Amino acid sequence: MEKIITEIEQGMLNFLNNNEMEQLHKILINTLKDFTFIKDDKKSNSDLNEPNYCEMFVYAKRVEGCSEKSMKYYKSTILNMLKKVQKPVKHITTDDLRKYLGDYNDKCCKVTIDNIRRIISSFFSWLEEENYILKSPVRRIHKIRTETVVKETYTDEHIEIMRDNCKEIRDLAMIDLLNSTGMRVGELVRLNISDINFNERECIVLGKGDKQRKVYFDAKTKIHLQSYLKSRDDENDALFVSLLKPHNRLNISGVEIRMRNLGRRLNINKVHPHKFRRTLATRAIDKGMPIEQVQQLLGHSKIDTTLQYAMVNQNNVKNSHRKYIS
């Protein structure tokens, strides 16, 4: 009965307002409550001819300017859900999605599960806005609570140890640039030599959503970048290239592997490019930089993201407590 009522209500979406839909819902329940329905395992013609809502949603995201990487993640997440639930989109209920997300509990961390919930919610909210469904079944599924983990940042000693033990001038220049700008590793590998303004000690990076922003580096970074570029004998436009011929543009995995190996050699825990970004945010806030400026520096669209990146130095909290409270 619920399936029949849903089909009728979906068909009337474009013809009735909210009050009229509520009245129709009551009439259908009262009219059909005494009927007996026989389940037919064969898919109806409407189910077989259902539009590819997932593709339509991805096209809508492309128009909004989402990156190909994000769209690929959206698509795979939605298709996995549809494959598991095995129902037409219009018949998926809140309980179906709760069970689907609940089955992930033993497989993934809560942060991953909440990311899945968020994408599924975005998908069904879009369907509701486009009048393909009456109401999103994710409305009553709230944000999944996750544990707050204090993530590590580099100490000043860690930075200096890594800088002193770089065997290649290229690696030293990379560490200096990541440390002084806080740019993403994806932004680092996309940089060209022409993007660097040595006079102003700044460069323009291409961030998420193809948004450009300026980042700034210090004098040490300038000197080491110039030394690195003078040492090269290739004609590649990329700022950072592989050490071996044909000196192709360095990719993200190449930077991550290089950083990880350096950390293992020096016995420094969890050395990776993103940790420089978190370290810069923490250092900037601890030294009094306004959070809005840190947000601009990191290229975050929401200030909440910036606050999550910055791990407030506990010693500063202790000193402030003594100053203002004790």
Task: Point out the residues that are catalytic.
Answer: 184, 208, 274, 277, 300, 309
Residue 274's CATH number: 1.10.443.10
Flag whether 208 is in a domain. Answer: yes
Question: Are 162 and 310 found together in one domain?
Answer: yes
From 102, 122, 147, the end of a domain falls on 147
Q: Would residue 325 count as lying in a domain?
A: no
Structure confidence at residue 38 (pLDDT): 62
Nearest 5°: CA angle at 66, between 60 and 71? 75
Provide the pLDDT confidence category of residue 321 given band limits of 50, 70 and 90.
low
Same structural domain, 100 and 193:
no
What is the CB neighbour count within 10 angstroms for residue 215? 21
Report the predicted TM-score, pTM, of the whole model to 2 decimal places: 0.69
Query: Rounded to a whole number, what is the largest CA-CA distance in the chain?
Result: 85
36 has a pLDDT exceeding 80: no
The per-residue pLDDT for range 145-194, each reduced to its tens digit, is 876 666 788 999 999 999 999 999 999 999 999 999 999 999 999 999 99
Cβ atoms of 221 and 214 within 8 Å: the answer is: no
Residue type at 62 in one-letter notation = R
Whole-number Cα distances in Å, 309 to 161, 187, 315, 321: 23, 17, 18, 23
> In CATH, what number is assigned to the domain containing residue 143?
1.10.150.130
| CA gap 201, 251 in Å, rounded | 24
**Does 222 map to a domain?**
yes
Stretch (H or E) spanning 323: helix 314-324
Whole-angstrom distance, CA of residue 114 vs CA of residue 112: 5
238 secondary structure, DSSP code: B
d(CA 65, CA 68): 9
Tell me what pLDDT residue 131 has: 87
Within this chain, do residues 261 and 307 fall inside the same structural domain, yes or no?
yes
Residue 28 or residue 280, greater confidence: 280
Residue 240 has a pLDDT of 97
Contact 201, 216 (CB under 8 A): yes
Which span out of 5-19, 85-99, 103-117, 303-317 was modeled with the highest average pLDDT? 85-99
Task: Say if CB 18 and CB 34 are below 8 A apart.
Answer: no
Based on the fold, state whether residues 185 and 294 are members of the same structural domain: yes
Q: Has residue 218 got a pLDDT over 60?
A: yes
Mind listing the pLDDT tens digit for each residue in 124-152? 999 999 988 888 999 999 988 876 666 78
Q: Which conformational region is residue 268 in: left (phi greater than 0), alpha (psi within -120 to 50 degrees), or beta?
A: beta
d(CA 283, CA 326): 25
The predicted structure's pLDDT at residue 32: 78
* Residues 187, 138 share a domain: no
Residue ranges making up the domain that contains 174 = 156-320
Residues 263, 132, single domain; the answer is no
Give residue-wise pLDDT tens across range 219-277. Answer: 999 999 999 999 999 999 999 999 999 999 999 999 999 999 999 999 999 999 999 99
Beta strand segments in the chain, E: 196-197, 202-206, 212-216
Q: How many CA atoms lie within 13 A of 21 on its CB side?
A: 18
Q: For residue 197, tell me if it sits in a domain.
A: yes
Which of 107, 122, 147 is at the close of a domain?
147
Q: Among all chains, which residue has been given the structure tokens 């819902």?
A: 25
In a domain, 175, yes or no: yes
Output the pLDDT for position 64: 86
Residues 174 and 301 grouped into a single domain = yes
What's the rounded Cα separation, in Å, for the pair 138 and 218?
A: 47
Instruction: Give me the pLDDT at residue 41, please.
Output: 56
**pLDDT grade, residue 309 (50/70/90)?**
low
Q: Which sign, positive or negative, has the C-alpha torsion 71, 279, 218, 266?
A: negative
Q: For 186, left (φ over 0), alpha (ψ -120 to 50), or beta?
A: alpha
Examine residue 47 and state whether it is found in any structural domain, yes or no.
no
84 and 192 part of one domain: no
Indicate whether 314 pLDDT > 70. no
Order of strands, sheet of 212-216, starting from the edge strand that comes earlier in the sequence = 196-197, 202-206, 212-216
Question: Is pLDDT at 305 greater than 60 in this prediction?
Answer: yes
What does the pLDDT average to over 61-80?
A: 89
207 in a structural domain:
yes
Report the percentage of the chain scoring pLDDT > 70.
89
C-alpha radius of gyration, the chain, whole number: 27
Amino acid 54: pLDDT: 94
Give the residue-averaged pLDDT of 114-122.
94
pLDDT band at 35 (very low <50, low <70, confident <90, very high): confident
Whether 162 and 306 share a structural domain: yes
CB atoms within 10 A of CB 127: 21
The rounded mean pLDDT for the chain is: 86
pLDDT at 226: 97
Percent of the chain surpassing pLDDT 90: 53
- 202 compared with 8, residue with greater pLDDT: 202
**Length, in residues, of the chain:** 326
- Work out how many domains the chain is built from and give that number: 3
Q: Is residue 141 domain-shared with residue 172, that is, in the same domain?
A: no
Whether residues 142 and 163 fall in one domain: no
Domain boundary among 88, 115, 147: 147
| For the chain, the helix, strand and coil percentages under 3-state DSSP, each to the nearest 5 | 60, 5, 35
Do residues 282 and 176 share a domain?
yes
**3-class DSSP assignment, residue 37:** coil
Q: What values do phi and psi take at 110, rounded to 5?
A: -65, -30
The answer, yes or no, to whether residue 326 has pLDDT greater than 70, is: no
What's the rounded Cα separation, in Å, for the pair 159 and 36?
A: 73
Answer whether residue 44 is part of any domain: no
| The pLDDT value given to residue 162 | 96
